[in-house]
Amino acid sequence: MQNLSAVKWLAPAKINRFLHIVGQRDDGYHLLQSVFVFLDIADELIIRSNASDQITFDASAADLVTADNLCLKAAELLKVRVTAASDKITDVGADIFLQKNIPVGGGLGGGSSDAATVLMVLNKLWSVGLSQRELLEIGLQLGADVPFFIQGQAAWVEGVGEKITPVSQLADEPVLLIFPPLSVPTISVYADPDLRRDTAKISDWPSMDLTAKIASWHNDMEAVVLKQHPELTELFEITADIGNIRMSGSGSTFFVKLALKETEVQLAEVISELSQKGYGSQITSTQGISRLHQQLAENFH
């Protein structure tokens, strides 16, 4: 076991392999169907428990250090749960440092993943002993994507994000991530009157070959983002020779699932053109299991 105060706990990114909006609740929340998979890129958190009764938070970028950062909110919610359970517990504290590696506002779930990591690690460090189900309930208070990161497996996701069914039939695959030089506020996508909210619900997915079907599904938010930012349509032409491009979540990150037919020369040419036009990019791979869960298993028995 490592010195836990020195462990860099991972908060992996995710992509939506597709995202259908199948309805909207009376309270305004949108109902979705999607498959979430992890990526082999992650934020890193150093989390140290202390007896100061205080929670401190710092980050690699000063603009992340705010009172509404999800890392801080997650720790505070868990602390309320701990102290409410026993009036004898009054001195739980923590120092949290976030190394931000996942692009902010890119649709990769970085903030939600950070919150999930804080909850799961402090649950161990503070010896709270909450079950995964209890952590999922807390996570949902922080954001619709947080429960996915807590449960730790690639999953079919429904409802507002709280209905999670692990899937195991998707192999890990290389992908090219493309980072436009802009962020897309999720609220602007959901508020757009052109957003499709009535895609037919897929009811028989458990019996399907997801590997075969998933490529034929789409992201309902993509058309809205392309309408709001028409300059992004050039990505489809730039990447046409290496695979089908798709947006993740509400954007602005796009991804291309790479196949064996791509050569290093083709990829290099595409990446070079993307760079010349101001786009960042990174080759990574999808993952069916969260690396954070592997870390927790290795460090806590």
What the block records as the tokens of 143 is 């954001």
**Active-site hit among 14, 73, 100, 257:** 14
- Is residue 43 part of the annotated active site? The answer reads no
**Active-site hit among 73, 100, 114, 145:** 145
- Is residue 163 part of the annotated active site? The answer reads no
CA neighbor of 112 nearest in space, from 287, 250, 257:
250
What is the 3-state secondary structure of the chain?
CCCHHHCCEEEEEEEEEEEEEEEECCCCCEEEEEEEEEEEEEEEEEEEEECCCCEEEEECCHHHCCCCCHHHHHHHHHHHHHHHHCCCCCCCEEEEEEECCCCCCCCCCHHHHHHHHHHHHHHHHCCCCCCHHHHHHHHHHHCCCHHHHHHCECEEEEECCCEEEECCCCCCCEEEEEECCCCCCHHHHHCCCCCCCCCCCCCCHHHCCHHHHHHHCCEHHHHHHHHHCHHHHHHHHHCCCCCCEEECCCCCCEEEECCCCCCHHHHHHHHHHHHHCCCEEEEEEEECECHHHHHHHHHCC
**Positions marked catalytic:** 14, 145
